[in-house]
């Protein structure tokens, strides 16, 4: 047995041996082990110090992580799905959302902040997280300022607490981003509307010009016809009064007719009315199409006839293609599709304008126009719209980029590079459809839109303002 002799401050080995019953013999000091024990003792004390230091370090790094975690604008939290109380929430919540962190420890408080309309989706997301899935969910969240903000939450199950229904997540205020996304979307709409407006102005100005020409002609002509009628009456009265012979009256009337070119007037006045009515119908059609195209006040998906949508989109885009391409439509018997019609129109427009540009690049200089063929059909449970052009085709090296936002082959200022990106986002993300293309160098490109006949449209929590034009 090694004992520490406190007086000598040395370690001594004390040996005791049992000699017999009840008799112990102490053998005294055999050896001084002080020297041997000293390093051990130092190690021990060092170990203790190290533990202290490590603990401090751990605490410091824990604090550091916590500080890091709680200094971001993404609020971390852990929720007991059973009680609906937060078992942890980052301290920044007070700074970010205005609520004191303690409030979230109350049962169900977190959930109560979610906008009533968004609660089912949020509950669903938590369910999915409990079932071991990673979920990202956007919902409106009530801040202490009594205003709703758009909050995006990344939620996942807590793997180390198996017996409890716990989920962890980060929530971040994306109101600004949402607004920017919306603005970008609007900007692209405005850009294409602006470009179209110029074309539509041309399309409307032309009929207005000839309607006005014809009406001026009718106005002048009617004046002349009335004057001739007046002369006829005078002649009749004169003949009746006996001051003019029938022969003279006839001669006079014929001279009058000649003077105002009555033959021309009679021949052309009915046509002028006809032409004016045609012109008015042309204007009315354009205006109607613009209204159909922009579909004001549509904040929920509704049932739409895509064949009609294609025709009205073609009407308003006419000026974009009519000088370079003929358009052929082969519209099949397709069911109505539940969709955001104005957004789908926008997507269609972007694809048609794209086709017109592809054709015009090829047609430039050539005397023959290109051809754009639009076909609709049903294939299985899907409605298929294809837009085929006889342009130059998409070069191999850019085929994988054409749906990228801001990618454009047009000169600066001519296109924002948003057209096809938006078309894809509308078709794929908003309508659960599919947008693909096939292209052949020198022959042309076919864009194919596939939409589920009863698509699962993404529910929209923030429908953009609709109805830009009218």
Partner 1 sequence: MSAPEPKQILFVDDDPAILSGLRVRLHRFDSRWAMYFADSGAAAIDELERCDYDLIIADVRMPGMDGVELLRTVSERWPDTIRIALSGYAGEKQVARLVPYAHQYLNKPCPSSQLEELIARCLRLHELLPDPRLRALAGSVRTLPVTIRAHTELQAALSQESAGIAAVSGIIASDTALTAKTLQLANSEFFRLTRRITNVEQAVGHLGLGVMRALADSAGVFWRGAEHESITLRLDELQQHAKTVAAAARSLARDTPHGDDAWAAGLLHDIGYWILARDRQPELLRCLQLAVAEGLPLQEAEARLLGASHAQLGAYLLGLWGLPVGLVEAVAFHHAPERVAQAQFSALEAVAIAESLCGTDDAEIFNGRSVPASGVGTHYLKSVNAPFDWPEAARRVEASCRSVEAS
Site of interaction with partner 1 (CB under 8 A) = 198-199, 201-203, 205-214, 216-217, 220, 261, 264, 268, 271-272, 275, 278-279, 322-324, 367, 369
Minimal distance, residue 312 CB to partner 1, in Å: 21
**CA–CA dist 378, 391 (Å, integer):** 26
**CA–CA dist 169, 360 (Å, integer):** 52
Minimal distance, residue 358 CB to partner 1, in Å: 17
Minimal distance, residue 410 CB to partner 1, in Å: 14
**CA–CA dist 121, 142 (Å, integer):** 16
Minimal distance, residue 202 CB to partner 1, in Å: 4
In sequence order, the 6+-apart residues with CB closer than 8 A to the CB of 199 are 316, 317, 318, 319, 320
**CA–CA dist 243, 117 (Å, integer):** 93
Measured from the CB atom, the residue of 118 and 203 that comes closer to partner 1 is 203
Measured from the CB atom, the residue of 35 and 219 that comes closer to partner 1 is 219
Measured from the CB atom, the residue of 214 and 354 that comes closer to partner 1 is 214
Measured from the CB atom, the residue of 180 and 222 that comes closer to partner 1 is 222
Minimal distance, residue 456 CB to partner 1, in Å: 42
Q: Where are the alpha helices (DSSP H) in 410-455?
A: 419-424
In sequence order, the 6+-apart residues with CB closer than 8 A to the CB of 264 are none
Give me the long-range contacts of 202-211 (CB less than 8 A, separation at least 24). 202/319, 203/282, 203/286, 203/318, 203/319, 204/283, 204/286, 207/278, 207/279, 207/280, 207/282, 207/283, 208/279, 208/283, 210/275, 210/276, 210/279, 211/275, 211/276, 211/279, 211/280, 211/283
Note whether 353 and 383 are within 8 A (CB): no
Q: What is the 3-state secondary structure (H, E, C) of 213-267?
A: HHHHHHHHHHHHHHHHHHHHHHHHHHHHHCCCCHHHHHHHHHHHHHHCCHHHHHH
Which DSSP category does 332 fall into? -
Measured from the CB atom, the residue of 161 and 228 that comes closer to partner 1 is 228
User: What DSSP element (H or E) covers 194?
Assistant: helix 175-241
Minimal distance, residue 216 CB to partner 1, in Å: 5
Minimal distance, residue 226 CB to partner 1, in Å: 16
Note whether 423 and 417 are within 8 A (CB): no
**CA–CA dist 318, 201 (Å, integer):** 11
Measured from the CB atom, the residue of 69 and 208 that comes closer to partner 1 is 208
Note whether 239 and 253 are within 8 A (CB): no
Measured from the CB atom, the residue of 176 and 198 that comes closer to partner 1 is 198
Measured from the CB atom, the residue of 401 and 414 that comes closer to partner 1 is 414
Measured from the CB atom, the residue of 248 and 274 that comes closer to partner 1 is 274
Structure tokens given for 254:
């014929």
Minimal distance, residue 235 CB to partner 1, in Å: 24
Note whether 307 and 330 are within 8 A (CB): no
**Which one, of 274, 299, 314, 248, lies nearest residue 117 by Cα?**
299
Residue where the block lists tokens 């191999």: 396
Minimal distance, residue 328 CB to partner 1, in Å: 17
Minimal distance, residue 370 CB to partner 1, in Å: 11
Residue 179's alpha-carbon distances to 74, 136, 418, 443, in angstroms, are: 18, 19, 17, 41
Minimal distance, residue 286 CB to partner 1, in Å: 13
Measured from the CB atom, the residue of 98 and 263 that comes closer to partner 1 is 263
**CA–CA dist 314, 325 (Å, integer):** 12
Measured from the CB atom, the residue of 48 and 323 that comes closer to partner 1 is 323
């Amino acid at each position: 047995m090694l004992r520490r002799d406190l007086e000598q401050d040395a370690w001594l080995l004390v040996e005791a041996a049992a000699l017999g019953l009840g008799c112990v013999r102490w053998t005294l000091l055999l050896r001084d082990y002080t020297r041997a024990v000293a390093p051990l003792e130092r190690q021990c004390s060092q170990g203790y110090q190290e533990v202290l230091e490590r603990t401090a370090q751990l605490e410091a790094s824990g604090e550091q992580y916590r500080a890091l975690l709680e200094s971001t604008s993404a609020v971390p939290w852990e929720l007991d799905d059973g009680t609906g109380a937060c078992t942890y929430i980052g301290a920044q919540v007070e700074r970010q959302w205005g609520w004191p962190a303690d409030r979230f420890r109350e049962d169900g408080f977190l959930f109560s902040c979610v906008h009533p309309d968004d609660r089912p989706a949020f509950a669903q997301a938590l369910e999915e997280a409990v079932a071991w899935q990673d979920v990202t969910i956007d919902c409106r969240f009530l801040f202490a300022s009594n205003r709703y903000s758009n909050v995006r939450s990344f939620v996942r199950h807590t793997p180390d607490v198996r017996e409890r229904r716990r989920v962890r997540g980060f929530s971040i205020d994306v109101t600004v981003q949402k607004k920017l996304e919306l603005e970008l979307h609007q900007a692209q709409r405005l850009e294409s509307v602006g470009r179209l407006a110029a074309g539509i102005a041309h399309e409307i100005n032309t009929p207005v010009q000839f309607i006005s020409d014809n009406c001026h002609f009718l106005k002048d002509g009617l004046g002349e016809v009335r004057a001739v009628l007046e002369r006829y009456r005078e002649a009749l009265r004169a003949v009746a009064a006996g001051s003019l012979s029938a022969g003279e009256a006839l001669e006079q009337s014929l001279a009058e007719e000649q003077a105002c070119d009555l033959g021309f007037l009679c021949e052309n006045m009915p046509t002028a009315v006809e032409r004016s009515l045609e012109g008015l119908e042309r204007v009315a059609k354009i205006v109607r199409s613009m209204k159909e195209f922009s579909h004001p006040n549509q904040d929920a998906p509704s049932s739409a006839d895509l064949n009609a949508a294609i025709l009205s989109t073609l009407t308003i885009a006419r000026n974009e293609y009519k000088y370079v391409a003929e358009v052929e439509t082969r519209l099949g018997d397709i069911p109505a599709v539940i969709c955001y019609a104005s957004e789908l129109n926008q997507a269609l427009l972007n694809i048609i304008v794209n086709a017109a540009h592809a054709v015009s690049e090829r047609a430039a200089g050539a005397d023959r126009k290109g051809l754009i063929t639009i076909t609709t059909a049903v294939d299985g449970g899907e409605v298929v719209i294809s837009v085929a052009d006889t342009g130059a085709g998409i070069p191999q090296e850019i085929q994988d980029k054409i749906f990228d936002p801001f990618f454009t082959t047009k000169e600066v200022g001519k296109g924002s590079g948003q057209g096809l990106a938006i078309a894809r986002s509308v078709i794929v993300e908003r309508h659960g459809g599919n947008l693909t293309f096939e292209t052949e160098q020198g022959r042309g490109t076919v864009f194919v839109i596939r939409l589920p006949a009863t698509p699962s449209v993404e529910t929209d929590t923030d429908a953009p303002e609709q109805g830009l034009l009218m």
